[in-house]
């Protein structure tokens, strides 16, 4: 199984006194490995996203600052990139307890938190 949350992150450099950089801000793509469904922080999508968008900008910037060890200006969610095995395991884990998501179906959960921002990649 293979999956990652993909974000676009704009960060800035804060050089030592007297040192200048141009530009000061840069944008990069950050891929955060997704925990296996039912393991670790597998509910990351529920706690961080809403309809395929970051649901709390401040919290997302704090997370990105931890990931990059740099000051972050903005974060936007791009997609959950996963193989079919991961998606099947995710659907199974979600279906096991829909009350965690206040939803009636797995499809509703995926749409509620990830919107249309899921890309399933070929396993090969």
DSSP class per residue in 35-61: PPTTSTTTTHHHHHEETTEES-HHHHH
Give the total number of structural domains in the chain: 1
Q: Which residues pair with 55 in a beta bridge?
A: none
Range of the domain at 53: 3-120
Predicted confidence pLDDT, tens digits, the chain (124 residues): 899 999 999 999 888 888 888 898 999 999 999 999 999 999 999 999 999 999 999 999 999 999 999 999 999 999 999 999 999 999 999 999 999 999 999 999 999 999 999 999 986 5
* pTM more than 0.85: yes
């Amino acid at each position: 199984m293979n999956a990652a949350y993909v974000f676009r992150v704009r960060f800035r450099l804060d050089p030592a006194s007297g040192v200048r950089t141009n530009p000061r801000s840069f944008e990069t793509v950050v891929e955060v490995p997704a925990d296996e469904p039912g393991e670790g922080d597998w509910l990351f999508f529920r706690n961080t996203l809403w309809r395929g968008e970051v649901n709390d900008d401040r919290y997302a910037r704090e997370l990105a600052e931890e990931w990059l060890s740099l000051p972050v200006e903005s974060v936007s969610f791009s997609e959950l990139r996963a193989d079919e095995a991961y998606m099947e395991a995710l659907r199974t884990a979600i279906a096991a307890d829909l009350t965690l998501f206040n939803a009636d179906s797995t499809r509703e959960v995926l749409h509620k938190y990830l919107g249309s921002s899921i890309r399933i990649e070929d396993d090969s």
